Amino acid sequence: MSKTPADNHTPMMRQYFGLKSQHPNQLLFYRMGDFYELFYDDAKRASRLLDITLTARGHSGGIPIPMAGIPYHAAENYIARLVRMGESVVVAEQTGDPATSKGPVERQIARIVTPGTISDEAFLEEKRENLLLSLAHQSRKGLDIFGFSYLDMASGRFCLFEVDGHEALSSELQRLSPREILISEDFPARATLKLEKGISELGPWHFDYESSYRQLIQQFSTKDLSGFGCEAMTAAIASAGALLQYAKDTQRSALPHIQSIMVEHKDDSVLIDGATRRNLEIDINLTGGTSNTLVEVLDKCSTPMGSRLLKRWLHTPIRDLNEIQARQQVVAELQQNQSYNAFEAPLKKVGDLERILSRVALRSARPRDLLRLRFALEAAPEINGLLANATSERLQELNLRILAQPIITETLAKALVENPPSVVRDGGIFAKGYDEELDELLALSTNATDFLAEMERSEKARTGISSLKVGFNRVHGYYIEISRLHSDQAPVEYIRRQTLKNAERFITPELKAFEDKALSAKSKSLAREKELYEALLEQLNEILGELQTTSQALAQLDVLNNFAERANALSFTCPELHNRGGIQIVGGRHPVVESVISEPFVPNDLDLNDKRSLLMITGPNMGGKSTYMRQIALITLLAHTGCFVPAESASISVVDRIFTRMGSSDDLAGGRSTFMVEMTETANILNNASKNSLVLMDEVGRGTSTFDGLSLAWAAVDYLANKLKCYVLFATHYFELTTLADQLENAANVHLTATEYEDEIVFLHKVHEGPASQSYGLQVAQLAGVPRDVIGHAKQKLKELEVVTGIDLDTKTIETKANSSSIKAKTKEHLVKESKNGYQPQQVDMFAQAEQNALKNALEELDLDNMTPLEAISALYKLKSQL
């Protein structure tokens, strides 16, 4: 931005600065003729982001003006690219007439496009919600309370809730994955957001509770907010008011499609933290892509809005048994006789009704949106007919909410041409016969072609000029064109209008009169079409609430119909959910792994109950421990969405949270090592799990020294089993931990099996009772492609370590050694003794022990009785040199 005094700038640049000052942090697209221009810092930023040329446009205040420009007809593509990068764009259009303007052409802000407030189809991802999130912070009784409110502008869904603590803040941010976040300039947890783009900072006054409260009751025309159940959520209300005002400012609209607030409560859903979402790969895999995820396997929905709802259900599994069972009954009914097939075709006609309605409400719907709306409404009666004999209560409810709209459907059918234009300004929207006045105006334009053809024929005959043509262009209007060779034969009444290289163009009084009439008709017909279009949008807005109800019901039907199709195609079964405690699964499978492997998936069982709530899982790497644990979590999650599950049978007590501590990676941006990340996730589990939580922990303690890691893992298992008593799957390579099953009354050992065949390891992927008997570490390393020389050296070193330590480290006998009570007793005795002496145990150095044994052997081999003093001193120096 220029710091030169305003008086030193040209009038046009002063106009630019006036508009820019209203939106200092957003890119200003400033319309100048056929281009949108950006100046100063905006130009530099746009040049870098869009890879467009940075140039200069003269001087202003004596300083060159950095400038970048894009053609107006390509602006939408550039704006879409910027929005996807997290940028916000303000578009200033010319509203004055350049021909009559004495100073700079008048310009006004026409629209504001931000990542979280877009509703245009071209900017949106079809199967992803586009959320605008607002956060407010309050301190209550020493707790950090974060108020959340979020809006999907493209559907009108508006929700709020509160959480306490930074861990919950981070978890919810990952669940919602917003495109844009609104925060106060003094927001205290800025670092937790971990975003560089898509954050808009507002003045603290925007989050004032009193003004936010008034903003909400004004939007919903209510006396207070008690009917929504959020009166006590002061932080959430503060955030919601700021969000609502921001959305109105950017849309320059009253937002009529936002008709209610949905309040979310912590106890309504199964809570899943950020680490668990990553590990379960619900819709994003561990490498950041979308392939081989749960959503990819499950999403065969017929509509985009169904796909978005499915993803929302998977990210927010519910705990309400009545709601879960209602969904299950629908899936079971639709699965019978494969009746789900009948719904596929009419649902595909529905399309993205949800987003079309939001554009109708915002008056930004395009003609083709209304055509698709017509198709959706035509499908409603067909779907009503299919649901007429439904027996499940939920399907009957959905049928009542899918409202056929025969009047507006017929109106749309009569009004629109079969292939309407993409934008209103082009005209040609309405079918002949819909409006008499429009038909008359269009007839004048249509007859122009016939008139021009007849005039050209008659003028050729009258003048005898064979090269004579009659035509039209947007700049000069209608004209008679004669080649330069014959131009001297033009009749005297021809008035020269334009000279070209090879021709002259003329106008006649008759042609000028027709031009005035035709152009006036064209202008009037476009104005009439715009008028009719606005009236059609108004008619639709009068029943917007009913249309939104229909849209929501159709989206639910689509997801449940999809569940039925997936259950049949993937051999899923209906789980029993209850509050009796315990998780029993027979023949469970991992839905994603099963879909990508070529050989049959090996199913496994699970039995967790009050007397057996913790399973210690051992077995070789690559043996299937992580897959087994993840499939249990995914089956549990799916069961809480109402979906059938990949198992022969499943009986699952409702859980309140699902935790995972699996895998490892550095958090470089947060300055945390792999071990620190591991311990943070472990702490979150130990601090927040309850008796009704499902906990999956893999390789706890491996990021530090052997004794430290073993001690931490031991203590964590003891805490989970004795204090929390939650459902736990604990995978480990610390075979010493398998002895805990003998000490803890509610713990048991299971293991994944493998075998060797012709010096190669074969993983059987089957879960059996008891601890593992083999580790197969060197065999797995060989499978991974470790060079044979290294494997051979490792085997040799393993034998040496067995000799020097006195411990049999052969992978085939680890279980026996690990389970020996003597080793357990010695380890425990050693830790207690050294702790009393104030000694901190160090990592065991087995290679140092090997060196000590070599020196011992060398000393024992010396024949001191037969050595001279000189030989003895020489031998001593030699031994000393080996230290």
Tell me the HSE value of 45 on the side-chain side, using a 13 A CA sphere.
Answer: 17
CB-CB contact of 306 with 555 (8 Å): yes
User: Is 624 labelled as part of a ligand binding site?
Assistant: yes
Going across the sheet that includes 35-39, the strands are 55-60, 63-71, 35-39, 27-32, 89-94, 107-113
CA atoms of 430 and 740, how far apart (whole Å): 78
In one letter, which amino acid is 50? Answer: L
Which of 208, 143, 150 minimizes the C-alpha distance to 179?
150
Burial of 784 (0-12, 13-18, 19+ CB in 10 A): exposed
Q: What is the DSSP string of 338-387?
A: GTTHHHHHHHHHH-SHHHHHHHHHTT---HHHHHHHHHHHHHHHHHHHHH
Which of 271, 272, 268 minimizes the C-alpha distance to 320?
268
Q: Alpha-carbon Rg of the chain, whole angstroms?
A: 37
User: Is 838 labelled as part of a ligand binding site?
Assistant: no
For 136, 157, 480, the CA distances from 219, given in Å and listed in that order, are 20, 14, 60
CB-CB contact of 771 with 638 (8 Å): no
For 60, 659, 771, the CA distances from 734, given in Å and listed in that order, are 73, 21, 11
User: Is 620 labelled as part of a ligand binding site?
Assistant: yes
CA atoms of 534 and 527, how far apart (whole Å): 11
Q: 600-604 contacts: CB < 8 A, separation 24 or more? A: 602/764, 602/765, 602/766, 603/647, 603/648, 604/628, 604/631, 604/765, 604/766, 604/767
For 114, 149, 158, 198, the CA distances from 131, given in Å and listed in that order, are 11, 10, 10, 11
CA atoms of 875 and 567, how far apart (whole Å): 79
CA atoms of 514 and 116, how far apart (whole Å): 50
User: Is 147 labelled as part of a ligand binding site?
Assistant: no
- The total of other beta-carbon atoms located within 10 Å of residue 309's CB is 22
- Point out which residues pair with 767 in neighbouring strands: 752
Tell me the HSE value of 826 on the side-chain side, using a 13 A CA sphere.
Answer: 8
User: Is 8 labelled as part of a ligand binding site?
Assistant: no
User: Is 705 labelled as part of a ligand binding site?
Assistant: no
User: Is 671 labelled as part of a ligand binding site?
Assistant: no
For 125, 216, 218, 421, the CA distances from 221, given in Å and listed in that order, are 33, 8, 5, 37
User: Is 487 labelled as part of a ligand binding site?
Assistant: no
CB-CB contact of 265 with 319 (8 Å): no
Annotated binding site for ATP: 619-626
Annotated binding site: 619-626
